[in-house]
């Protein structure tokens, strides 16, 4: 079934730590958001950390999966839409953001 993205106020591309954190904040602020994740499961790099995470403020996790579980538990307490296997392809053209070379006057 195709999701109607116009239903959402915010579309979050990527279900890694950043995207899931953004989803938490959107939910708490009453902003209707959806996370689109290209992989079959959310988590991003967290899924590949096999060593303890000891430098995240106030949390010590035994590995990335442990950290991800805590994050997903928080997300699950809110009605957050996470759509996996969804690749976002976007072409953004902005002349003002194009790279400039030394000496071209910009």
User: Which tokens is 57 given?
Assistant: 């403020």
The closest of 13, 39, 33 to 75, measured between CA atoms, is: 33
User: Which tokens is 1 given?
Assistant: 């079934």
The closest of 82, 88, 44, 50 to 66, measured between CA atoms, is: 50
Considering beta carbons, is residue 37 or 72 the nearer one to ligand FAD? 37
**Largest interatomic CA distance in the chain:** 54
Q: Out of 18, 31, 59, 76, which residue is the one contacting ligand FAD (CB under 6 A)?
A: 18
Note whether 17 binds ligand FAD by CB under 6 A. Answer: yes
Q: Out of 27, 49, 69, 83, which residue is the one contacting ligand FAD (CB under 6 A)?
A: 49
Residues in 76-95 at the binding interface with ligand FAD, rule: CB under 6 A: 87-88
Q: What is the binding site for ligand FAD (CB under 6 A)?
A: 13-19, 36-39, 44-46, 48-49, 53, 55-56, 87-88
């Amino acid at each position: 079934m195709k999701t109607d993205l116009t239903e959402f106020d915010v579309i979050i591309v990527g279900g890694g730590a950043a995207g899931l954190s953004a989803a938490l904040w959107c939910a708490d602020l009453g902003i209707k958001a959806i996370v689109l994740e290209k992989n079959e499961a959310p988590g991003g790099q967290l899924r590949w950390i096999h060593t303890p995470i000891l430098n995240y403020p106030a949390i010590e996790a035994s590995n990335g999966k442990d950290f991800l579980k805590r994050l997903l538990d928080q997300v699950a307490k809110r009605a957050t839409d996470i759509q996996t296997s969804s690749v976002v392809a976007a072409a953004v053209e902005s002349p003002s953001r194009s790279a400039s070379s030394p000496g071209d006057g910009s």
